[in-house]
Amino acid sequence: MGRANKVVLAYSGGVDTSVCIPYLQQEWGVQQIITLAADLGQGDELGPIRDKALRCGAIESLVENVQEEFVKNYAFPAIRANALYENRYPLSTALARPLIAKLLVNVAQKYGADAVAHGCTGKGNDQVRFDLAISALDPNLKILAPAREWGMSREETIAYGEKFGIESPVKKSSPFSIDRNLLGRSIEAGSLEDPSTEPPEEIYLMTKAIKDTPNEPEYLEIGFERGYPVSLNGQYLDPVQLIVQLNEKVGNHGVGRIDMIENRVVGIKSREIYEAPALLVLIDAHRDLESLTLIGDVTHYKRGIEDTYAQLIYRGLWYSPLKEALDAFIDKTQESVTGTVRIKLFKGNAQIVGRSSKNSIYAPDLATYGSDDKFDHKAAEGFIYVWGLPTRVWSQKNRS
């Protein structure tokens, strides 16, 4: 008896997930393997990937284009939540995992599989995200993670694959570990493992070096409706196009890089480089539009929610009751977050230079220092008397 009969494997076409196919069959006695490759805009050609899985021994090789769902149902909620893990990482990799998990579970149910599998190792965050999301969606499905157990080095993995006719990578594989999708690129390992070294320029693909950026600034106008990004420079765009075009424009001015040491779920600190031009600018613009349309109390309270929300995404709890409850809160706050934000891109900066909204609660007649000021200055006196009362009384007792 093997560990499972029929398995749906998350497949990327790379060496590790390819080796998972014979490994599951030979070592773990799996009878049938269906592979599933999700097209999240990673830019790989998916035709060859489909064929490769079949050559490696899969009985069925599925490819699903889920770019639109990815942006609409995963990236946009994170933007409405201004979700930044540890205040910096916009979760471009993390957001893809619950979607892939959902696809795996759907296919497993459709094909009557008794397990799903992924190629994550035991050190990263992605294993946590896959496992938690899968078990939240279908607690009865077995989860197989061969790479977490097989203990093979990269060379051994390649050699194992060759025994079963899996071609080793043609080009000398990059020293970096790279994850990419529509939202961004995550780059780690190799020389980046030394936190004191500057990342080599060649790791970047979505953002230009400042020396190569245009010498003239470029202005962007991003439109939001109820917190959802909907337009660029006055033109309504579907979610995928909006991200694609924004990545291009923002990255062209050298905006969107992050170099950080982050705290992984498994307790390890790791150095990661990110490129996420569109996502970072959208979060910044969205937060700015909130400052025009939400009352202070809501904004201040929401900040705590945002941090929790980012942690839930990072830690694999996308499909959790707390996340759903926070979604309801965020949804309510976004009812008035409609309007436009103007951004000036220049030499590595994306500066917000203006915002406007039909729901603006910025009151010019209250804010002005001019002669048409409507604010009742005398009312401030009574307010300050009452507001300061408790500290005044305390000071009389304790400070004199």
Q: How far apart are CA 67 and CA 45, in angstroms?
A: 14
Pairwise CA distance, residues 179 & 132, whole Å: 20
Smallest gap from Cβ 325 to ligand ARG, in A, equals 23
The residue ranges that bind ligand ARG (CB under 6 A) are 93-94, 125, 177-179, 186-188, 272
Q: How far is Cα of residue 82 from the mean position of the Cα atoms in its chain? A: 11
Give Dmax (Cα) for the chain: 86
- Identity of the residue, 86 or 373, whose beta carbon is nearer to ligand ARG in the bound complex: 86
Residue placing its CB nearer to ligand ARG in the complex, 205 or 393: 205
Q: Which residues make Cβ contacts (< 8 Å) with residue 257, sequence separation at least 6?
A: 204, 207, 273, 274, 275
Cβ neighbours for 360, distance < 8 A, ≥ 6 positions apart? 292, 293, 339
Burial letters for 61-85: b for 16+ Cβ neighbours within 10 Å, e otherwise? bbbbebbebbbeebbbbbbbbbbbb
Can you list the positions of beta strands (E) in the chain? Answer: 6-10, 32-39, 60-65, 115-117, 142-144, 177-181, 184-188, 218-225, 228-232, 235-236, 257-263, 269-275, 339-346, 349-356
Closest to ligand ARG by CB, 188 vs 275, is 188
Q: Are 283 and 90 a contacting pair, CB within 8 Å?
A: yes
> Is 177 assigned a catalytic role?
yes
Residue 97 appears among annotated catalytic residues: yes
Cβ count near 93 (within 10 Å): 23
Q: Is 331 annotated in the active site?
A: no
Residue whose CB is less far from ligand ARG, 271 or 302: 271
Q: How far apart are CA 281 and CA 178, in angstroms?
A: 22
CA 38 remoteness from chain centre? 16
Q: Which two tokens stand for residue 113?
A: 């599989």
Catalytic residue selected from 97, 129, 287, 355: 97
What is the nearest approach in angstroms of ligand ARG to the Cβ of residue 313?
9
Residue whose CB is less far from ligand ARG, 88 or 300: 88
Q: Which of 50, 126, 270, 355 is catalytic?
A: 126
Considering beta carbons, is residue 86 or 365 the nearer one to ligand ARG?
A: 86
Identified catalytic residue from 135, 177, 231, 360: 177
Residue among 63 and 178 whose Cβ is closer to ligand ARG:
178
Active site residue 16: yes
The Cα 311–Cα 302 span in angstroms is 14
Catalytic residues: 16, 97, 126, 177
